[in-house]
Structure 1
Amino acid sequence: MNTLYRLGQFSIALTFPALAILLAVFGLPAVLLFLSSLNAPDFSLTNYEAFFSRGANVRVLLQTVEVSVIATLMCVIVGYPTAYIFAAASKGLRMALLVLVVIPYLTSFLVRTYAWIVILGDGGLINTLLLELGLISSPIPLIYNRMAVYIGMVHIMLPIMVLPLVSVMVGIDKSLSAAARSMGARPFAAFCRVFFPLSLPGVLSGSLLVFVLCLGFYITPAALGGLGDAMLSTFIAAQVESSFDLARIAASSFVLLGLAAVVLGIFGLDLSGAQDSRPHPAWKSPPDWLRSFGAPTRRVKELAARHRAKRWASTLYQAAGRGHLWKVVGTAFVALVMFYLLFPSVVVIIMSFSAGPSLHFPPRALSLQWYRSFFNNPSWTDAAWISIQIGLAVAVLSTIVGTLAAYGLSRTFPRLRSTLTMTILTPITIPSIVVGIAAYLGLLKVGLIGTKTGIILTHSIGATAYVVVIVSATLANFDRRLELAAKSMRASPLRAFTRVTLPLVRPGIIAGALFAFLHSFDEVVQTSLVSGFSVRTLPLKMWENIRHEIDPTIAAVASMLVLLPVAWLIVFYFTLWRSRPTVSGVPLETAS
């Protein structure tokens, strides 16, 4: 008890387990990897010079940047109006729409990639429909090209853009735009001068996250793109499979990592909650020499201002005639976005009930043969059982160390908290393949390649980051005076934590554990590197089938994985919304 009390006085010590795992699995191996890229102990830039001296490498690098930028812009173009409509909706409708966005976000990206293969393939849904309607005589090439890559990447990344945008937009005071309207500003001007500048932090955070994650894309471009659509992660994976030249792989990995680090360093992504939330002006005042050119137009603006004032006064108490039209347009737009996000999963579920030797949409006859094939095939069930075992172990480990770290971070100095939080979040803010290669090098040194323990440790560093984010968000709304009140009534630190703090943060802990399990259950890039081909998880089995089209059973597996996030949300609902936290048996309505 005294040990726990002394440990509680040094909150920073609670982050040590998470930092120790991160340092052992990723930190130190990343340093060794960087030294290998420099040919230590000779220290030269030969490997980097070799990388940039080859035109093919440079083209792949530029192509990676190009694809990532365009995919990010597409996410902004689609995500911003979607988030704006979400933020303007009522609270109940907004929550329902966010749930519909979260479901595909939590669905396995392998499932979503497979769904687009089913839809865009030569024998897929679109080509089959067009052939049956007689609009085409032969399948059109909808897959294995750049557009298919964009469709798949935007489908996966769009929720990551929408969620931070909605979070920022909901927090914007609507009275500011109303005040601008009351002073004669038109709706578009009020939006451009007031609302949009205040929403820029969400645009920046979402864009940076999407761009950095797109840099590390490997599965989707490899499955949906052609030979000319390879990205740098695909190039690195090919190096690993063909000839494991550690120095060259290290150089390629740090080129990709350096690109991500430069972008994050320039724009200053901060997921720790320490970002500057003060509103910034939309633009600075023009210099004096530029301002002098505006003198001839001032008289025209004054006349226009008088006209706008008269028009505003005459229409102040009139009903807005365009309101209904914009509602219809907004509803149609959101419906299209929801269709884009949800329809691929629906297609996979329906096709999984196809009878016969192949899959069809819609099925010509209904059958459970592919589900029976899954449960009667040991290669599928063994892979699923291994993934479940690893996922549960990752959930337990990451929840314990992540909760301790989040609790310790909530009680440290803001600047130190920001630094440590960003350190813990490193595995999910840099390309996944770089983390996998560093983890491979670290586990190779201790003989854990090809073991479940090695995979658990590799998955845990990313899962811990998610737990820290979720539990920290829960602790941000926790009133520490409740804990102090319990201690003032002679409750020990342990008793105050178990009777006061734990009941209030329990929903966040459970949500973090479930998210950690899903993260592990869906991981394929890092697993493929550290499994050593001796531990075959369900995602690895699925990826093999997607690449070689071996077994239609994957449709049944994919449909079951689509239902996994739905089950997660149901558990989260009963944990967070239906359970009333209590302190010593007294229900609390709020924790803030």
Structure 2
Amino acid sequence: MPTLRRLGRLPIGLGLPAFGLLMVVFGVPIVMMFLTSLNAPAFSLVNYEGFIKQPANLRVLFQTLEMSLVATAICVIIGYPTAYFISAAPRQVRSALIVLVVIPYLTSLLARTYAWIVILGDRGLINNLLLNHGFITSPLPLIYNRTAVYIGMVHIMLPVMILPLISVMLGIDGSLMAAARSMGARPFTAFWRVFLPLSLPGLRSGSLLVFVLCLGFYITPAALGGLRDAMLSTFIAAQVASAFNMARVAASAFVLLAIAILMLSIIGFDLTGNPGDLVSARSSRWNLRTLSASLARYLNELSVSNRAKRWRTQLYKAGGKSHARLIVGKVFVALVLIFLLFPGVVVIVMSFSDGAFLEFPPSGFSLQWYRAFFGDPSWNGALLTSMEIGVAVALISTVAGTLAAYGLSRTSSRIRSVLTLVMLTPITFPVIVVGIATYLGLVNMGLIGTKAGMVLAHSIGGIGYVVVIVSATLANFDRRLERAALSMRANPMQTLARVTLPLIMPGIIGGAVFAFIHSFDEVVISSLVSGLSIRTLPLKMWENMRHQIDPTIAAVSSLLVLLPVLWLIAIYVVWWRSKPSARGLAVPGTAA
């Protein structure tokens, strides 16, 4: 007890509620799950050997790696130039473009997946257009294949690639590129030698995030792919549904988790985006370069005279942006945004169709599918359940996550980094692994098939989002305001309530919104811990998507597409209204 009291007085003691919940629901169960995979207490690798010896398992494993790598590579190819052009845009235009990227990121995964079913289906948008104009006589096989899975995965993961890149690129000093141009470097040379090395931290973080999240994909391959496009998460879910052999399921899950941890260990994950780390890493050379060094020097000598003339003419002259490059950038960004936003627009338009089936463009407009949604008790009940669970998750995650972030911000950087990574494990590990571990934790507490169990299962991920967002807000918080309040005889609780909380309130509200969205959109973990008695809105949508394409889903999806816009407006209003209060608090502190 004295040890616990001393720990509670430390700043890190504020994180005890969050860490306690994480350990009980996820931490201890995943350790037990690992021991089960090793047949503890006998401790053998027979389950892992059984996994490796089955050719079907290896095929699914390599297929998962292949699909994740391909999706990551496509996101890099599309996401890097998009982030580059957005970061180079004027400030107001850049802010609008970032919002347009964030909207699909916040949109329900199920709604986005359903949008591609509507677009790529046999009677979907593309096939209907081609059939109506006589270009084809029978529908093209655009869905239930590998290409459709890649389209869906890239559409979902592209914002995850773009946003870290923009964050790092905005921190790069533009005068460095201008200095390189003024010294005679061509635009591509300046980009390759200066800008690219400094942007590599964002590229590394984005690629790692996309790859690790792709490893755990379950919904998109199951909805858009065929039997040959199954990923390891789908395979593990099938094992759980058919014959719940815990030892084999645990071995399969930890094979997937080992790959994710291996990538995190090799590449590393740095949310700080410090360019210096990657600049030093870039100094390492391949042997191939040393083999071609003589040829490169010879070619350089041949162009010395021409380069000298160009250097003299462009010395101290900052190169401007070419008109053609600006046009290419605008067109490229516009195409990417169309790819991200058009599926949502299609679903919204089709949800107003007056026909018995969905069609684009609709022959007439009607609210019949919205009336079907609001008039069906099963849909209403699922919506109410999701709202109740989401609000409870937001409250628990906000309180526990804010306390944890506040305590971590006052600890040493090394301890803060380790504990933050621990807090983020539920949202960085493959979701199927988190789901199975959470299932085991709730089974031990007898909470499977209860709303309380669903709230706890969703809260471990919601806390991670709150910790990240509130920690980012606290990083810019001026602690001198707290010291000024304390010097004016305010006690710690008054300082927290009157100074700290009002100034970080936008981050707290943002964390609460993300925690709610995380809960409201959760499918995989919910399907494992809900039992047969609880049906959330995502579970109801997923069941209908698998068994029947009910047009009512279009109305539900359209509402979920519009929901992020409301969240962004709410966050902006809170942030905007907090600015006067922040200024009001800063003035007395400065005067004191």
Distance 2:356 2:286 in 1: 72
Q: Is the 8 A contact 1:355 1:363 kept in 2?
A: yes
Distance 2:292 2:355 in 1: 75
Distance 2:527 2:32 in 1: 21
User: Post-superposition shift, 1:503?
Assistant: 1.1
CA deviation map 1:78-113 (0-9, x unaligned): 000000001111111111001000000000000000
Q: Which amino acid aligns with 1:554?
A: I
Quickly say closer, same or farther: Cα 1:459–1:299, change in 2 above 3 A. closer
CA deviation map 1:164-223 (0-9, x unaligned): 000001101111121111221111111111110111110100000000000000000000
Matches within 5 A, 1:169-568: 169-271=169-271, 273=272, 277-278=276-277, 280-281=279-280, 283-284=282-283, 294=293, 298=297, 301-302=300-301, 304-314=303-313, 323-568=322-567
Partner of 1:147, secondary structure, is helix
Quickly say closer, same or farther: Cα 1:8–1:485, change in 2 above 3 A. farther
Distance 1:174 1:320 in 2: 12
Quickly say closer, same or farther: Cα 1:20–1:138, change in 2 above 3 A. same
Quickly say closer, same or farther: Cα 1:75–1:237, change in 2 above 3 A. same
Q: Find the counterpart in structure 2 of residue 102 from structure 1.
A: 102
Q: Which amino acid aligns with 1:163?
A: L
Q: Which amino acid aligns with 2:313?
A: S
Distance 2:299 2:67 in 1: 45
Distance 1:306 1:504 in 2: 60
Q: Which amino acid aligns with 1:85?
A: F
Moved more, 498-507 or 121-130: 498-507
User: Post-superposition shift, 1:301?
Assistant: 2.3
Moved more, 276-285 or 351-360: 276-285
Q: Which amino acid aligns with 2:174?
A: K
Q: Find the counterpart in structure 2 of residue 46 from structure 1.
A: 46
User: Post-superposition shift, 1:8?
Assistant: 8.1
State the TM-score, normalized to the length of structure 1: 0.95
Distance 2:517 2:234 in 1: 24
Partner of 1:172, secondary structure, is coil
Distance 2:439 2:513 in 1: 26
Q: Is the 8 A contact 2:184 2:315 kept in 1?
A: no
User: Post-superposition shift, 1:582?
Assistant: 2.5
Q: Find the counterpart in structure 1 of residue 90 from structure 2.
A: 90
Distance 1:219 1:52 in 2: 25
Moved more, 580-589 or 126-135: 580-589
Q: Which amino acid aligns with 1:126?
A: I
Distance 1:590 1:376 in 2: 55
CA deviation map 1:449-474 (0-9, x unaligned): 00000110000000100000000010
Q: Is the 8 A contact 2:110 2:541 kept in 1?
A: yes
Q: Which amino acid aligns with 2:154?
A: V
User: Post-superposition shift, 1:313?
Assistant: 3.5
Distance 2:292 2:109 in 1: 54
Partner of 1:363, secondary structure, is coil
Moved more, 547-556 or 191-200: 547-556
Distance 1:213 1:448 in 2: 27
Query: Taking every aligned residue pair, what percent have the same amino acid on both sides?
Result: 65
Q: Is the 8 A contact 2:404 2:467 kept in 1?
A: yes
Q: Find the counterpart in structure 2 of residue 77 from structure 1.
A: 77
Quickly say closer, same or farther: Cα 1:173–1:365, change in 2 above 3 A. same
CA deviation map 1:451-509 (0-9, x unaligned): 00011000000010000000001001001111111111111111111111111100000
Q: Is the 8 A contact 1:580 1:587 kept in 2?
A: no
Gapped regions of structure 2 (runs ≥ 5) = none
Distance 1:363 1:274 in 2: 47
Distance 1:455 1:228 in 2: 32
Quickly say closer, same or farther: Cα 1:322–1:355, change in 2 above 3 A. same
Q: Which amino acid aligns with 1:420?
A: L
State the TM-score, normalized to the length of structure 2: 0.95
Gapped regions of structure 1 (runs ≥ 5) = none
Distance 2:79 2:258 in 1: 27
Distance 2:430 2:51 in 1: 19
Distance 1:365 1:140 in 2: 26
Partner of 1:217, secondary structure, is coil
Q: Is the 8 A contact 1:270 1:422 kept in 2?
A: no
User: Post-superposition shift, 1:37?
Assistant: 0.8
Quickly say closer, same or farther: Cα 1:263–1:588, change in 2 above 3 A. farther
Moved more, 296-305 or 92-101: 296-305
Q: Which amino acid aligns with 2:511?
A: G
Q: Is the 8 A contact 2:465 2:515 kept in 1?
A: yes
Q: Is the 8 A contact 2:499 2:585 kept in 1?
A: no
Q: Find the counterpart in structure 1 of residue 158 from structure 2.
A: 158
